[in-house]
Structure 1
C-alpha cells in the first residue's frame, strides 16, 4: 500500500492476496442465519467511508457512516466458504462519502505553518517531479527543515496517521516510508500533510483539530529529495482521492509557484 502518492491511500484495508491466500479485512464480518451467509462491513473511522465490491457484471458501492456497521451482501444457499466470498466479491473500504456532493470551493485554507514564518516553494501545481497525477496535481511543497511545526489548514477530524518511519530518499522505493497526517473536513474533502519526521505527529487518530493548530512536525521521510512539507486537498471518488485546487491564505493555490516564498503574516 502506498502511503500517499497514489490513490492506494484510500484503499486502506484492501483484501490482500499472497500466493492465492486471502486475508479477511478487519472491517468485514460474517454470520450465518438460516442457510444465509450475511456479510457486513463496519466503518472504524470518525469519517464516512464506502465499500466497493463486485456483484454480477456491475460494481456496487455502499455508503457507511462513521462507526456504523452495514450489511453489504446476503448469500442464500451458499456454503460458508468466506475466503471464496472475499475473492469473488473483493470488498474494499475507501475514505469519504458516496455519492460525493459538491464541496465548498470558496473556503479559505490557512497556510500550514506558524504565524511569522515564511517558506520557499519547492514544487507547485503540476510539478514535473511528482505533482503529475490525479492524486497530486494540485499539491504544494514547502522547503522546511526537519522539526518545523506543521499547522492544520482547516478545522476537521484526524482519520489517519503514520509516524513510525525514519527512512527517506530520492529513490521511489521510499514511497511507502512517508509519515503523514490525513484530516477529514465537514464538506467531505480531505487534506494531507506528508514527509513528517519520525514520531512527528502532535495529534492522535479521531482528534478534532482547529485551523492553525499545530498537528505535527516536518521531516524528510518517504520519496523526498530534501526536507519539506508536501500537502494537498482531495475529494473522494470510487477511483480514490482526486487532487483539487483551493484558496490558500486568500490566494488561489495555483499562484504558489516554485521558487517564490509564502509568508504567514
Structure 2
C-alpha cells in the first residue's frame, strides 16, 4: 500500500493564529434608531454563540461628545450605547465602523480548576505534549505560552467533555484518505467549547458525521462529543488544548509573520485524579477519573435536580 507524507498546513495554523476574526456581515450586525429626543440608540444582533469582544468607533461625530464602545457581548442581541445630543434641538450626525474578535479578553480564570480527561472514565490514556509547528518545521519562534496535547488510540474512541461549557464552533466537513500518512493536517474536524470563565477548549480529530453535539448546546464533564477519525492509517488521534483571549488587536492592516505571537494565551490545566490534582507530564499514562465534586462544580441548582431525575440527559 503506497504511503504519502502530507504537509497540509494552512498559513493561519503555521503562525499560530487560532483566534477567530469574524466580519460584521457574517456574524454581528449593528443597527441604530433615532429617538424623538434626538438621541440615537445602537443595538446588535449576533448569529453565533459565545463571547465576542466588540469595538464600535464613531467618525465625523457632530452634536455629541466623542465616544467609543468597547465591551464583550454574549447574548444573541442587545443594546450597545446611546448617543445623546449636546444641543437637544439638533440631531446627532455620525458615521461608524466596528470590529469583533471571538473571546473574552483577559478573563478572571481559576488556573487551578480541575478538568476531566476527554475520554470515558475508567480508560487509561497516554498523553503527549504537541510540538509547535512553526518552531519545528519553519525554524520560527514558538509562542511563549504554547501548550497543547495529543492522545493516540488504536480504536475510534468516543471523546468526552472536560468541563461544562457552550459549543461555539463545529467543523464537520473533512474526510481522511486512509491511504495517506500525515505529519500534520489542518483539515481536521473539531469542536470548540467556551467555559463560564472565558477559557476556550479545542477538541480536534473527529470523524465526519460522527459529532454528537450541536452549536449552542451546553455540555458537561463526560458529555459525549463525538468519535475520533483515523490518522496515519492505523491511529486515531485527538489534539486538545485550553486557552483564552489575551489581546484585542483588531488592526487588520498589520501583517502577521511566522514570529508573530498568538493573541490566545494557552493555560497548563490541572486534571482530576483520585490522589489529587495533576499536571500532565509528556509521554505519561493516566487513568480517566471523576468524582461528584468535579462533576457538579459548575452545575446550577436546576441542572442538579435534572441530573438526579435523569442523569442520561447529561451524557
Normalised by the size of structure 1, how large is the TM-score?
Answer: 0.71
Quote the offset at 1:164 in angstroms: 1.4
Indicate the residue corresponding to 2:285 in structure 1.
261
The whole-number CA distance in structure 2 between the counterparts of 1:149 and 1:111 is: 12
Indicate the residue corresponding to 1:25 in structure 2.
26
Quote the offset at 1:44 in angstroms: 3.3
The whole-number CA distance in structure 1 between the counterparts of 2:19 and 2:82 is: 25
- Does the C-alpha gap of structure 1 residues 206 and 191 become closer, same or farther in structure 2, counting only changes over 3 Å? same
Does residue 60 of structure 2 align to residue 52 of structure 1?
no
Quote the offset at 1:50 in angstroms: 1.6
Quote the offset at 1:61 in angstroms: 2.7
Quote the offset at 1:64 in angstroms: 1.2
Indicate the residue corresponding to 1:235 in structure 2.
244
Does residue 16 of structure 2 align to residue 6 of structure 1?
yes
Quote the offset at 1:46 in angstroms: 4.3
Q: CA RMSD in A?
A: 3.9
Contact 1:146 1:197 in 2 (8 A): no
Q: Secondary structure at the match of 1:211?
A: coil
Indicate the residue corresponding to 2:267 in structure 1.
244
Matched positions, count: 238
Which runs of 5 or more structure 1 residues have no equivalent in the other structure? 16-23, 80-84
Quote the offset at 1:49 in angstroms: 2.1
Quote the offset at 1:115 in angstroms: 2.2
Larger Rg: 2
The whole-number CA distance in structure 2 between the counterparts of 1:195 and 1:241 is: 21
Contact 1:142 1:228 in 2 (8 A): yes
- Does the C-alpha gap of structure 1 residues 3 and 155 become closer, same or farther in structure 2, counting only changes over 3 Å? farther
The whole-number CA distance in structure 2 between the counterparts of 1:61 and 1:181 is: 28
- Does the C-alpha gap of structure 1 residues 107 and 147 become closer, same or farther in structure 2, counting only changes over 3 Å? same
Kindly provide the CA deviation profile for residues 195-214 of structure 1, in whole angstroms up to 9, marking residues without a partner as x.
21112311111111121121
Quote the offset at 1:65 in angstroms: 2.8
The whole-number CA distance in structure 2 between the counterparts of 1:211 and 1:249 is: 11
- Does the C-alpha gap of structure 1 residues 170 and 124 become closer, same or farther in structure 2, counting only changes over 3 Å? closer
Indicate the residue corresponding to 1:197 in structure 2.
207
Quote the offset at 1:122 in angstroms: 3.6
The whole-number CA distance in structure 2 between the counterparts of 1:145 and 1:40 is: 51
Indicate the residue corresponding to 1:151 in structure 2.
160
Quote the offset at 1:192 in angstroms: 1.3
Indicate the residue corresponding to 1:18 in structure 2.
none
Quote the offset at 1:37 in angstroms: 8.7
Does residue 164 of structure 2 align to residue 161 of structure 1?
no
Kindly provide the CA deviation profile for residues 6-62 of structure 1, in whole angstroms up to 9, marking residues without a partner as x.
344432x236xxxxxxxx333123446489997643233443322136668x99632
Indicate the residue corresponding to 1:21 in structure 2.
none
The whole-number CA distance in structure 2 between the counterparts of 1:14 and 1:101 is: 23
Indicate the residue corresponding to 2:111 in structure 1.
105
The whole-number CA distance in structure 2 between the counterparts of 1:118 and 1:29 is: 49
- Does the C-alpha gap of structure 1 residues 195 and 43 become closer, same or farther in structure 2, counting only changes over 3 Å? same
Indicate the residue corresponding to 2:229 in structure 1.
219
- Does the C-alpha gap of structure 1 residues 155 and 31 become closer, same or farther in structure 2, counting only changes over 3 Å? closer
Normalised by the size of structure 2, how large is the TM-score?
Answer: 0.61
Contact 2:155 2:236 in 1 (8 A): yes
Contact 2:189 2:204 in 1 (8 A): yes
Does residue 71 of structure 2 align to residue 92 of structure 1?
no
The whole-number CA distance in structure 1 between the counterparts of 2:111 and 2:202 is: 17
